[in-house]
Structure 1
């Protein structure tokens, strides 16, 4: 769906850095969804939200996002941003339902080429 240079997820090593919080939601003791939030200068960024298809529409993603927002607030951030892809229509609809509005590229994305971010959409939300 996306070329390798268009994938902006965290590596395993990055997930374990001090500025990242990562959470896994469970249903009946099984992983059902996950999400991370990174803390940067002036904003927090949602990283890698996901809910398994079998448990979608059961509030898993909403609960994960609420936790990420709370983590950002507790870290002193009032602006939450994210990057997603143009082919992620369910994710785009979810983020827009939860108060995110499209914005310009931010942070490290501003220095990337069109080949790297041409399929990206950027969103932000005031907390």
Structure 2
């Protein structure tokens, strides 16, 4: 899915607006549209009736995949789309040979933190180029060989 498609762009811009409203600029680690279109990133959307209601991206790193840009439009929250998107990115990461997923989220995003915890992610310290700050919460999940999830 291209981040430049108008409905996808609108959803990503809504996500960015929320992050900018909640967190200081230097503690925001969202990928911009150019980065989301980069060769090391894959982006998916959840659609219903030609409307994009959610998105998630997988950024590839040496030794692990990183979940980025998981966002569900306010009008679609509570439908389980966040969980479906997370399961999808996990399945793709497994297919691509990753044994570990990591992510960074904000401490004011309680629903996101609950989703990650319920999905088997465990808190950890900063990784990659991230530094500890007042807003970021870091998670990881080993992707063992168990049942495959198709999405």
Give the TM-score taking structure 2 as reference length. 0.77
SS in 1 for 2:70: strand
In the alignment, does 2:47 pair up with 1:26? yes
In proportion to residue count, which structure has more strand? 1
Aligned to 1:122: 138
In the TM superposition, 1:1-127 aligns within 5 A as 1-109=22-130, 112=131, 114=132, 117-127=133-143
Structure 1 ranges of 4+ moved more than 6 A: none
Structure 1: gaps (5+ residues): none
State the shift of 1:118 in Å: 2.3
Q: Distance in 2 between matches of 1:90 and 1:66?
A: 16
77-86 vs 64-73, greater mean Cα deviation:
64-73
State the shift of 1:13 in Å: 1.2
Structure 2: gaps (5+ residues): 1-21, 144-151
CA RMSD of aligned residues (A): 1.1
| Aligned residue pair count | 122
Give the TM-score taking structure 1 as reference length. 0.91
User: RCO (CA 8 Å, sep 6+): is it higher in 1 or 2?
Assistant: 1
